[in-house]
Structure 1
Amino acid sequence: MKRHEAREKAVQTLFQLDETEITLEEAIPFIVEIPLDEFYEQLVRGTVAYREEIDALIAEHLENWSFGRLPKIERTILRLAVYEMNYTEVPARVVVNEAIELCKTFSDEKSGKFVNGVLSKMNK
């Protein structure tokens, strides 16, 4: 699995987990086959493990928005991107570009601009 595809699958998995009672172990088989791609697994498990810290970081960098008002897809993409920026060796510019591409796939151009703005503030 290529890294972009792993990110897309990670967004789908994390989206399922948001505001539901489903567990990570239950969500994964709906999206990917076993054996798991190593990069996908790192993204999903890492984002889930550091979710509280990630959410706090995102909330700190929002202007005129509260974290709870964020649309679910933008929140999910931001969580994944913040995990990558803070807990992996992936360069920030790659993470931001991938997040924008994910917004194009799962949402729209406005979403991409919003996510880009939040991540750019975090990357200063």
Structure 2
Amino acid sequence: MAARSKARKRAVDVLYEADLRGSDPLELLRERVALASPPIPDHAVRLVEGVAEHAARVDELIDRHARGWSIHRLPDVDRAILRMAVFELLWVDDVPDAVVIDEAVELARSLSTDDSPAYVNGVLGGVLDAEVPTS
């Protein structure tokens, strides 16, 4: 698994755990970084910090594009994947949009339900179409 793929998985792990615990993802991230077992990649830190910083906007976009579901009704792991991917799509300029979506779909395929990859792809496609200007 490539380094950024591992970092995305770690970011989803932290976001998912924080969501389940009802705790601050930044506090949980600090705990995980302090433990350093396994080490938290820099890109994972960047993703979790970015999701936390832009949480309201990220959740608003997911809610708007999650057809038929409110963000709070989504499976927990799908919500974590979508949060990470929406942040990366809109605020991380050094990763191509197609890579972000492909990686999120792969995470959904490996971590969630059979329906999740298509759903994650659809939500992210909607966010991308609505929010990213074309040149």
Residue aligning to 1:116: 121
- The AA in structure 2 aligned to 1:33 is A
Larger mean Cα displacement after TM superposition, 64-73 or 94-103: 64-73
CA-CA distance at 1:19 after TM superposition: 4.7
Say whether the 8 Å CA contact 2:29–2:45 is kept in structure 1: no
Contact 1:13 1:28 in 2 (8 A): no
CA RMSD of aligned residues (A): 2.1
Q: Does 1:33 align with 2:36?
A: yes
Superimposed CA distance per residue, residues 29-80 of structure 1 (whole angstroms, 9 cap, x where no aligned partner): 4487176422111011111111111000111112222222111111110000
Output the CA distance in 2 between the equivalents of 1:108 and 1:26. Answer: 25
Contact 2:81 2:104 in 1 (8 A): yes
What corresponds to 2:46 in structure 1? 42
- Match of 1:123, SS state, is helix
Q: Amino acid of the residue matched to residue 113 of structure 2?
A: D
- In structure 1, stretches of 5+ residues that fail to align are none
Task: Give the Å deviation of 1:20.
Answer: 2.7
Residue number in structure 1 paired with 2:19: 18
Check conservation: 1:16, 1:27, Cα contact below 8 A.
no
Check the 8 A contact 2:10/2:40 in 1, yes or no: no
Which amino acid in 2 is paired with 1:11?
A: V
**Structure 2: segments with no counterpart, 5+ residues:** 130-135
Whether 2:97 is the aligned partner of 1:92: answer: yes
Paired residue total: 124
Could you say which residue in structure 2 is the equivalent of 1:75? 79
User: Secondary structure of 1:109's match?
Assistant: coil
Note the C-alpha offset of 1:25: 2.8
Map of 1:58 onto structure 2: 62
TM-score, structure 1 normalization: 0.88
Q: Which of structure 1's runs of 4+ aligned residues deviate more than 3 A? A: 26-32
